[in-house]
Amino acid sequence: MLPDDITPFLASSLHRRDEVPNVNLAIQIVNERHQKAIAVLVANLRHKSKAVRHDSIKVLYEIGERLPELIADYCSHFVAGLRSKDNRMQWGAMTALSAIAQHSPTVVHQSLHEIVDAADAGSVITRDKAVAILIALSHQTRCQKEVFPLLLRQLAACPTNQLPMYAEQAASITDRNFRADLANLLKNRLHQTDKESKRNRIAKTIKLLEQI
């Protein structure tokens, strides 16, 4: 059984440069439902050591991907992480929020505009996870009026390299009006895509959207 302070079990504390100890630690915390260990990890997000901060956010989002309810109460801490100047912490926080959105969309919805602002200014991974959040929220009827325009804006502005993946993910949304708007957006962007494989993926998604 893990102790409350699990900092000595982080990869950097073990002088490891790989992520295996962090992933294994996340699995063990999930298995034990170890809330005190999670509280220590959250506190470590402000640790003086960058390595400890990086390891801690890694373990937290690995926990979230397995059992998001274990980290949902710390949503505000991850939103604060979106403002970090450390890119690793920023996209790690967005990854954690993406996991929480699958379980507690209402909680994440409260920070929608901070999430979108971080996506606009952040790295590719930050944007990827923000789009995943918007799609998760789009499945919630009460969020759709606000979220649909923001999601379409991301799809209209994203690099063409990311467009096929985002389009395929967004195609899971069943709202007819959204699907029609998305299909039109993709048609307008189709000529911007140089690679044939990506054009084919987008064309396939358009066809799928128009079937319903």
Specify the pTM.
0.94
Exposure class string for 167-188: b at 16+ Cβ within 10 A, else e: bebbbebeeeebbebbbebbee
d(CA 193, CA 129) in angstroms, rounded, equals 22
Q: What is the pLDDT of residue 194?
A: 86
Residues of the chain with pLDDT under 70: 212
**Over the stretch 82-134, which tens digit does the pLDDT of each residue have?**
999 999 999 999 999 999 999 999 999 999 999 999 999 999 999 999 999 99
| Domain assignments of the chain as residue spans, ordered by start | 1-70, 86-157, 159-212
Q: What is the pLDDT of residue 159?
A: 94
CA neighbours closer than 13 Å in the CB half-sphere of residue 21: 17
Q: What is the pLDDT of residue 125?
A: 97
| CA distances for 105 relative to 70, 72, 89, 97, 98, angstroms | 14, 10, 22, 9, 9
Token readout for 191 is 């000529």
Q: What is the pLDDT of residue 193?
A: 87
Q: What is the pLDDT of residue 155?
A: 97
